[in-house]
A and B are shown apart, each in its own frame.
Chain A
């Protein structure tokens, strides 16, 4: 089977600064691809282009063989690419389960005429059940009716994941999911991410924390100054001189 997501020759400039330069990589169903690099390497810019938040200057992004470059975020989500936010962005006016159900937005098919005559109840029930399963999957079962304002930071991160999964993604994008979590929460997160990949979902992980990423990722792409400087399994990448140099000063982390 071919790659689900193909990024080729992606370039993004901000004025005189080239944040991403001719970046190529592929993502396959069921794999966990880590995109790493020091601060300012272009990880988040790449992430935002895939998610539709930024426009690219050059290059191409294909999802299941079709170009998605230039689509707005909501259409990218509709195609099956869902994301989490680095700084949790819950819907504050709704309890946990309702937040997850917003993630299922693109799964609903009942149109207005049907809703207005009281239809769509079966669909609503089905999605509610799925949302309950997802809340349980990430370990928030006891908090399904809780106000999101009462969640800890780590629980908020888990909610982000359940919400993204509710959209039945084929690709899930994680923006530094380890940031701000306790060691116990990191173990739990790693377990959840493995579980997601086992469901056949392609995982793209933007991460900074090597100790979290390297044991988890099946492949790693290393960025520095917007360009790919290495690619391979975590073991291969760890051995490369360029990677060590890029992380100089943080070498102990490898």
Chain B
């Protein structure tokens, strides 16, 4: 019964783009991608308690990897996707293995450095990354002779969201999800219960980074252009705020936060122009002070 509800829900999400114009399709695609990113980051930050600023960078690494491997290296699509995932996993391991063995904020610091370094590499990457202008004017190669574009490509993004949620949901509702929460709540007690704390952190960081990378690969064919400003560091903070505002540790919270903070500028800009950043700041401070469990916590309170 519950499975049926999910299937119907995602079928509706997949049918929706066929009724939207091209502008709304574009907004809808980006909304879906932000929800996907927020769900992954919620697993890392909200469920496992790890503060990292590299989630959006991995989104960029996935996007650039697939574009470079396809059009600069000339690999076929399946090989480019596979190698792109390998790159994300290798980078995530290189960051997480040393960082999670140290106490405190090392993961946050190392990932912040990685996110900054990524932008530098993009700008200085010459012909490989296209420098400050990035890479543009490419198209998704045909898959079995079929060019997926327009609303059909939006369906691919819905599938990405569904697959990401399925992976995270199943891991969360298992011994592994409990171990992650235990690591977040009390690492010493978690270890005393047999949880390998460092290993759990490394797995979660690598998994969520790889999921962000895959989302980036899908994003690469949304605008058919990748360039450094798209993957700026401000997005790392936006994902963090989405999860906090919606409710850290809850999938529904992350989704609500992503929807709200992504759509808010569209509603606010006509009213206050670029000052919507101020409204953002006030909202985030208000949520942290008044409702630490986020909007989903507010919902819980009223639905009881």
**Which of B174, B191, B192 lies at the interface centre, i.e. has the most chain A CB atoms within 10 A of its CB?**
B192
Number of interface residues of A (CB under 8 A): 35
Q: Which residues of A contact B189 (CB under 8 A)?
A: 85, 89-91
Q: Which residues of B contact A108 (CB under 8 A)?
A: 174-175
Stretch of B193-201, B223-231, B235-243 on the interface side: B193-201
Q: Does B124 contact A (CB under 8 A)?
A: no
A173 closest partner in B (C-beta): B192
Give chain B's interface residue range (CB within 8 Å of chain A).
Answer: 20 to 34
Asked if A115 meets B193 with Cβ closer than 8 Å, knowing A91-B182, A94-B181, A102-B182, the reply is no
Q: Which of A74-90 contact B (CB under 8 A)?
A: 74-75, 77-78, 82-83, 85, 89-90
Asked if A74 meets B174 with Cβ closer than 8 Å, knowing A91-B185, A93-B184, A94-B181, the reply is no
How many A-B pairs fall under 8 Å by CB?
93
In the complex, how many angstroms separate the beta carbon of A60 from the nearest chain B beta carbon?
Answer: 22
Asked if A93 meets B185 with Cβ closer than 8 Å, knowing A74-B196, A85-B192, A167-B193, the reply is yes
**How long is the Cα–Cα vector from A73 to B196 in the complex, in angstroms?**
9
In the complex, how many angstroms separate the beta carbon of B52 from the nearest chain A beta carbon?
Answer: 19
Cβ-neighbour of A102 out of B173, B193, B196, B249 (below 8 A): B193
**How long is the Cα–Cα vector from A163 to B196 in the complex, in angstroms?**
17
A105/B194 in contact, CB under 8 A = yes
Q: Does B171 contact A (CB under 8 A)?
A: yes
Asked if A110 meets B174 with Cβ closer than 8 Å, knowing A89-B188, A105-B179, the reply is yes
In the complex, how many angstroms separate the beta carbon of A148 from the nearest chain B beta carbon?
Answer: 9
Q: Which residues of A contact B181 (CB under 8 A)?
A: 91, 93-94, 98, 102
**How long is the Cα–Cα vector from A112 to B195 in the complex, in angstroms?**
15
Asked if A106 meets B174 with Cβ closer than 8 Å, knowing A91-B185, A94-B185, the reply is no
A105/B191 in contact, CB under 8 A = no
Provide a sorted-by-A list of 9 A–B residue pairs whose CB atoms are within 8 angstroms: A73-B191, A74-B191, A90-B186, A91-B181, A91-B182, A102-B190, A102-B195, A116-B167, A124-B174
